[in-house]
Amino acid sequence: MSDESPVAISGQDVLVTGGAGFIGSNIVEALVPENDVRVLDNLSSGARSNVPSGATFIEGDIRDDATVRHATEGIDIIFHQAGQISVERSFEAPELTHEVNVTATLKLLECARRESARFVFASSAAVYGHPESIPLSEAAPTEPTSPYGASKLAAEQYVRLYDDHYDLQAVSLRYFNVYGAGQVGGDYSAVISVFVDQALNGDPITVDGDGSQTRDFVHVRDVVRANLLAGAADDCDTVFNVGTGESHSILELAEVVRSVAGSESEIVHRRERTGDISDSEADLAAIRSQLGYEPTISIESGMEELITSLE
């Protein structure tokens, strides 16, 4: 994989929703040195301590009209990372998932239109559902298998509409499985962090189903770079995959984590998750050709870095 290099966004007033969370705080960290950055977060899953110094923190809910209007006043770019991100939670609370992931995104798009601000939306590979084949291009069928995936797809349509009809530079990024230091959670997006934590503590490494399901794991710094490229781009498509273009089975991942961590943890299997898909891998042709994105961190080096951060 190629070397990491900075993306030039400077002198901008930037809002990062969900900027106290895992991905959002990493975007803030990349932007703070050269920009005036605001963070809007209700701290439902993020932490105030995650927000890098130099950013202006606004505690509030993206569903609240007054809060969103205040946070977006005078903004040049919005990186919309906030959302209800749990697939399992979306089955328990589909209306809440829609309110947070769709209705609130529409509120932010309206504010972006008012401010003539660029808009970058954190979508998900969950929009694809069960793939007919891999790797998945952006033109692959979108048949989500969960309320979470459906909400991301619906929000993408609003992003596309605002780009097409309101002369707004708006892009959706379909994240595959993001990982890195500081991640918490229980979905596959966090499975590497969970496995590493279990291995370091000597606990059983828990694999859903038989572990044959595959995922494209992308490091958070590569996701940050994709966001910055999208935020600086002109005249590009409105949807891009963000991954590595490589996939690994969950069982293979558990075995590699155990080996790298030097752990004797037992690998145990539990029931399959509701709405789970079998395989996932990103086709990166579009984001490579239009935005110049290249993944920079291999799964092996990313795991070694993560293990070092937790030891």
Cα Rg, the chain, nearest whole Å: 18
Is 283 within 8 Å of 136 (Cβ atoms)? yes
Give which of 251, 281, 274 is closest to 132, Cα–Cα: 281
The DSSP letter of residue 75 is -
H or E element that contains 252: helix 250-261
CA distance 74 to 114: 9
CA distance 10 to 228: 11
Q: How many CA atoms lie within 13 A of 68 on its CB side?
A: 24
Is 119 within 8 Å of 106 (Cβ atoms)? no
Question: Which positions are annotated as active-site residues?
Answer: 148
Q: How many residues does the chain have?
A: 311
